[in-house]
Structure 1
Amino acid sequence: MAEAAKTAFVTGHPIAHSRSPKIHGHWLEKYGIDGSYRAIDVAPDDFAAFLSTLRDNGYSGGNVTIPHKESAFALVARRDEAAEAIGAVNTLWFEDGALWGGNTDGHGFAANLDQRAPGWAEHGPAVVLGAGGASRAVIHALVERGIKDVRIVNRTLARAQELARRFGAGVSAHGEQATGELLADAGLLINTTALGMHGNEALAADPAGLPDHAIVTDIVYVPLETPLLAAARARNLRTVDGLGMLLHQAVPGFERWFGIRPDVTAELRQLIVADIGAK
């Protein structure tokens, strides 16, 4: 008797904009897997009920995005180490009969830099712009890779201080007015804020103050080249856009649900670049 096709999902509210179905659909076709991956819009009030019926509805697991990541963290039976450290869940799967939650955003961030700027982890100190949910995943990845000096810069200092306390030694909090002096010896500049997205084209920070060996990356990927990356490229600094983080964070979930660890290839990247351009 043939094994039933496996089904996974991404849920958020709204969710129509998600490119995850295109990413996972590409892999399902590439590896010849009998399975499906779909986008499901679930309102916050309905999220707990949605999770409680996953197994009955035949799902192997799925992805969770805004605004459900913190709710998923609270509702799952077990959490992996990354989810515990970051305080949010973006990947769900069943293991030993229990619903597990993990967080692959930090993995996606680090794997993107591994692919596009090898040796990046030897370039600390790191300056992280922003203290929201995305910055937690980035800081976790930086600490995991052994960067000893991580400097969080945020408009609201108290939020940066809260994150610095969460991650402990080697992670410090600063207001925006300190950005210039913090960049003087930084090897990594990472933007985790919405600055630079379409409709919000302000420069997240001025890379003019960075050393010549610095790497600049932005987790924003629409547009692919943000004002920050353009300014850094004009200075001949190495730059890494945010699209790879989206692609690489999808890898561990696909492996859990469908049993094959997929590759992030130039073909996949171009597929999503074309989709961004078509919107």
Structure 2
Amino acid sequence: MIRRPRAAITGWPVAHSRSPLVHGHWLKKYGLAGDYIRLPVAPEDAERFYRHFGESGLVGCNVTVPHKETAAAACDELDEAARAMGAVNTLWLDGDGRLCGANTDGIGFLGNLDQRAPGWDARPGPAVVLGAGGAARAVVWALRARGFAPVKIFNRTTEKASQLADHFGFGVEAYPWDKLCEHLGQAALLVNTTAAGMTGKPPLQIDLDGLPKDALVTDIIYTPLETDLLRQAAARGNRTVDGLGMLLHQAAPGFERWFGVRPEVDDELRRIVLADLGATT
């Protein structure tokens, strides 16, 4: 009897994750035998779980906070992005049973902009990134891969921004939050990677007056779909891209690894997830 391949979203907690909705849609759409489940992994169990992943019965999994670094340390092999970030969000077992890890957050960020704002990287220039956490690390990696420079990181804790800039080196710069307005005037791209503006969180309060009208503004938040930042940017004529597509595009490489089909991120999937969020296009 051939066992159905099973993958999961792992982390702590995972009850809120919409990954099962995304992967479940693709399994149904492509008529594939397989399952994708939520699997909570308590922090005290995480190291052992990933070190002995072959015993889980899974062909692979997604990894969410707070286990991305722990899972990366357990891998036998990491892709370029995961090595650069020191964190994974996608795991799979190869033909020899070795645990392999990838970080597709940067790929998801790029895929979203490629789909929703074609040509956005035709003339790469200076980029401004708000925040210095794990998501910012993925975004900085992605922007460097597309030739944006300098990438300027602004964070309320300047030391954390400096640590991230030092990690990437030449072409990535750190600045204190109160210097943001002085640097917006040269930006070709503005990215918010902080939780500010998310439903239930304090708003992101910045002045966009100095931002060029041809700069693209994007927010990795997707609850709400249109954040105050995006609304403010759109009102002054800037192109904007919401964060939902990043979630969808980062999921595609893992699905292909586990189930053998490269899935399409299309309008149907976007509508399904938006309906689950209680939002609209």
| Change in CA separation of 1:80 and 1:208 when aligned onto 2, cut-off 3 Å | same
- Between 1:49-58 and 1:155-164, the stretch displaced more is 49-58
Q: Map 1:22-171; keep pairs closer than 5 Å.
A: 22-95=21-94, 96-121=96-121, 122-171=123-172
Q: Kindly report the root-mean-square deviation, in angstroms, between the aligned alpha carbons of the 2 structures.
A: 1.3
Q: Residue 191 of structure 1 contacts residue 204 of structure 1 at CA under 8 Å; is this kept in 2?
A: no
How far 1:123 sits from its partner (Å)? Answer: 4.2
Structure 2 CA distance for aligned equivalents of residues 220 and 88 of structure 1? 20
Q: Which amino acid aligns with 2:41?
A: V
Q: Residue 185 of structure 1 contacts residue 211 of structure 1 at CA under 8 Å; is this kept in 2?
A: yes
- Between 1:67-76 and 1:28-37, the stretch displaced more is 67-76
SS, match of residue 8 in structure 2:
strand
How far 1:208 sits from its partner (Å)? Answer: 2.3
Q: Which amino acid aligns with 2:105?
A: D
How far 1:12 sits from its partner (Å)? Answer: 1.1
Q: Which amino acid aligns with 2:253?
A: P
Structure 2 CA distance for aligned equivalents of residues 88 and 228 of structure 1? 28
- Find the counterpart in structure 2 of residue 230 from structure 1: 231
- Find the counterpart in structure 1 of residue 180 from structure 2: 179
Structure 2 CA distance for aligned equivalents of residues 254 and 206 of structure 1? 40
Question: Is there any run of 5+ residues in structure 1 with no aligned partner, and where?
Answer: none
How far 1:50 sits from its partner (Å)? Answer: 2.1
Q: Residue 124 of structure 2 contacts residue 149 of structure 2 at CA under 8 Å; is this kept in 1?
A: no
Q: How many residues matched?
A: 277
Q: Which amino acid aligns with 1:28?
A: L
How far 1:205 sits from its partner (Å)? Answer: 2.7
Q: Residue 13 of structure 1 contacts residue 41 of structure 1 at CA under 8 Å; is this kept in 2?
A: yes
Structure 1 CA distance for aligned equivalents of residues 196 and 277 of structure 2? 18
How far 1:45 sits from its partner (Å)? Answer: 0.6
Give CA deviations for 1:198-225 in whole Å, capped at 9, x if unaligned.
1224125322221010100000111101
Q: Which amino acid aligns with 1:100?
A: C
Is residue 197 of structure 2 the alignment partner of residue 196 of structure 1? yes
How far 1:51 sits from its partner (Å)? Answer: 2.3
Identity value in percent: 58
Structure 1 CA distance for aligned equivalents of residues 193 and 116 of structure 2? 18
SS, match of residue 17 in structure 1:
coil
Q: Which amino acid aligns with 1:274?
A: A
Q: Which amino acid aligns with 1:38?
A: I
How far 1:53 sits from its partner (Å)? Answer: 4.3
How far 1:179 sits from its partner (Å)? Answer: 0.5
SS, match of residue 208 in structure 1:
coil
Structure 1 CA distance for aligned equivalents of residues 164 and 56 of structure 2? 38
- Find the counterpart in structure 2 of residue 245 from structure 1: 246
Q: Find runs of 4+ consecutive structure 1 residues off by over 6 angstroms.
A: none
How far 1:120 sits from its partner (Å)? Answer: 1.5
TM-score w.r.t. length of structure 1: 0.96
- Between 1:203-212 and 1:48-57, the stretch displaced more is 48-57
SS, match of residue 255 in structure 2:
helix
SS, match of residue 59 in structure 2:
strand
- Find the counterpart in structure 1 of residue 11 from structure 2: 12
Structure 2 CA distance for aligned equivalents of residues 227 and 277 of structure 1? 18
TM-score w.r.t. length of structure 2: 0.95
Q: Which amino acid aligns with 1:173?
A: A
How far 1:146 sits from its partner (Å)? Answer: 1.0
SS, match of residue 55 in structure 1:
helix
